[in-house]
Amino acid sequence: MSFAFRLVLFALLALAAIRPLGAIENPPLDNKVYDYTLSLTDRVRIGVFQEDDLSVISRIDAKGCVNLPLVGEVRIAGLTRRQAQKVVEDAYRDGRYLRNPQVTITVEDYASREVSIQGQVRTPGRYALPVESTMTVVELVTRAGGFTDTAKGTAVSVTRISLDGEKQSFIIDVDSLIKGKDKARTKDNSLLLQAGDIVYVPERII
């Protein structure tokens, strides 16, 4: 085997051992699964592993609570299922009833969950939120028929009132998101609507 041939063979083997640059730089796919946020009047099944006497089916009351054996009222409305499971586990652990509780929460009956959109859209009104998936402001505007000709789509407001009565307001540049403009902010499209949210599309001053 000539020296030149050995040199070429060595180079080919070295290239084969190198991972493609794209495989290094590309981030892993996001495999996160949407976790439903519990709402008032949801009917839930709360199970405790190997503790059948503690398992209950209960409707979340007006205070956002469920009444559980031994620990009493535990507030879970406004939490995702995973968060609520941890809260219940902590209640049993902190009360020293169970050393290592394993809680599972499933929704037996979903409460009606709606948002409203008013102002300069073609079909204002109330819209049901999907149960096991999400809805963004852009998706709601689309369901409402899109903007009218006089809508100020760069300043769509979202008003949210928490269970504690705390009011939050967000301003979303929906127009830039829809048109794919460079100034569109990613965080605007990451805001997920919650039950009771009020979306308002103002009129553009001509």
Cα atoms in the 13 Å half-sphere on the side-chain side of 17: 6
How would residue 103 be classed by pLDDT, with cut points 50, 70 and 90?
very high
Question: 43-109: which CATH architecture?
Answer: 2-Layer Sandwich (3.30)
**pLDDT tens digits for 127-138?**
999 887 889 999
Question: Which pLDDT belongs to residue 60?
Answer: 96
Pairing relation of β-strands 114-119 and 56-59? unpaired
pLDDT in tens, 38-96: 989 999 999 999 999 999 999 999 999 999 999 999 999 989 999 999 999 999 999 99
Confidence (pTM)? 0.68
- Nearest residue to 71 (alpha-carbon basis) of 57, 45, 52, 89: 89
Could you tell me which residue, 61 or 20, shows the higher pLDDT? 61
Q: Where are the domains of the chain?
A: 43-109, 114-201
Q: What is the pLDDT of residues 148-204, one digit of tens each?
A: 999 999 999 999 988 778 899 999 999 988 887 766 676 666 788 988 999 999 998
DSSP assignments along 84-125, one per residue: HHHHHHHHHHHTTS-SS--EEEEEEEPPP-EEEEEESBSS-E
What would the two tokens of residue 167 be?
A: 């009011």
Calculate the average pLDDT of the chain. 83
Q: Which two tokens stand for residue 135?
A: 């809805």
- Architecture of domain 114-201 in CATH? Roll (3.10)
